[in-house]
Chain A
């Protein structure tokens, strides 16, 4: 994002710069209704519109404090700001499950949640499953049963699988398939993924 007039940048505070450059972006992107409102309130209006929101959340047992644009998804916050790139961006529309993380212990698609909606919550990503060098039983079971080929969907599959066991939806292969249906694997490792989940649900895998 750059101001069209370089002089604007000289001697201005960062906040002023953001205000002005935001205004230009906003004019380009907002509908006419907003532009009419902008004529009267210009700078203040868009300063408010683009205000970053304070955010506190715990990720893998570590507290984080930041301020963030409301449009940033939880997925982008984890990957781009915290550099926790284990959580994958697949479709970015809630259709593939590659971005699955746990929020307060429940599995969610992090691509369809704004980071600011998760204020005060506890997030667990694939990086938070292992205990040091000791793999989580589900990670170990995925390796044992070849529950992946290319591996791109695997972090989401494993997070979803851990939740599936915690929820108790593991009474049969068909129930596991049903409750894992939000995680797509284009390599087709499904039977092996189900094998891994069955093993963990029976408590047979030792990490």
Chain B
């Protein structure tokens, strides 16, 4: 690993002040992705600002909103009684990701900031527009079994690897960001971005900002929710396809529904058209099939990942069915 300057801070104010002096510096939280990327030479920051001692680890209910600090560990969130009771979709998605060791260290903010696991991004001998803009995309026409089928660009077909983020986009979370001037809020669905012409940018966090906390509204979806993750082995693997599904059903009619997918796009992918179709309708297999079909309207495969064109709608139907069946 190329050496770097290491700074440690205990407040978000001083962390932001240090960042403002050197915008190329990177925040170091759990480090489970960043240190790996540095070992491989994919990223070579000259300065790391260790923010692990900044007090942003709260998990609490304020009014109708659940607040989760950016530095709460993935385990702390997944094991918290409040999250298990009110947001089981989030707890289940977190536990579907990584391993117990990694979840103990990885933070909520770091999970949002993690980079794609595309093999071409990780291999510095290969072309990759995300790692080195303009160098080309190795995955298009290459090994692309794990890659995107929705919202792709000609420059990049990488997927965002997070499970947690798929649940958060389904749960209408809001992200609170801060720079030295103050805080701003953006919807979780607007945090990550599609690759477009600038695949080097994973999200809309500005270079002078840090993630402070998440705000998630309480809902009536806790009872009928399911996180389905399809992968190459039973545990500890990234998703081929994942589906967060949550239903509120009254008198056999769907009164609220949330659907989001992972493993299919450059960002966590909310299935808005499918949700709109299902609202007010009966929670039937026929309607689930129609919703799944709608989700695939603009999908396209790149060869090795063509199987996802069938796996994705099948997974949507399965996840909705399992969510509905929870009594």
Contact = CB atoms under 8 A, between A and B. Distances in A.
Interface of A: 26, 29-31, 33-34, 48-51, 53, 69-71, 73, 92-94, 97, 100, 106-109, 112-114, 116-117, 119, 160, 163-164, 167, 169, 177-183
Contacts of B46: 30, 33-34, 49
Interface in B77-113: 98-102, 104-105
B230 interface: no
Interface in B123-174: none
Nearest to A76: B1
A136 B84 CA distance: 33
Contacts of A33: 24, 46
A106 B234 CA distance: 24
Select the residue from B32, B101, B102 with max chain A CB neighbours within 10 A: B101
Interface of B: 1-6, 8, 24, 28, 31-32, 35-36, 38-40, 44, 46, 48, 50, 52, 75, 98-102, 104-105, 234-236
Contacts of A69: 3
B228 to A, nearest CB: 15
Given A107-B104, A179-B100, A182-B98, 18 more contacts: A48-B5, A49-B5, A51-B5, A70-B5, A71-B1, A71-B3, A93-B39, A108-B101, A109-B101, A112-B31, A117-B28, A117-B50, A117-B52, A160-B100, A177-B234, A181-B100, A181-B236, A182-B99
A113 B99 contact: no
Contact of A114 (B2, B35, B44, B236): B35
Nearest to B1: A71
A177 B4 CA distance: 38
A31 B39 contact: no
A73 B35 contact: yes
Contacts of B35: 73, 112-114
B48 A70 contact: yes
B249 to A, nearest CB: 29
Nearest to B41: A29
Contacts of A114: 6, 28, 31, 35
Contacts of B104: 106-108
Contacts of A117: 28, 31, 50, 52
A100 B101 contact: yes
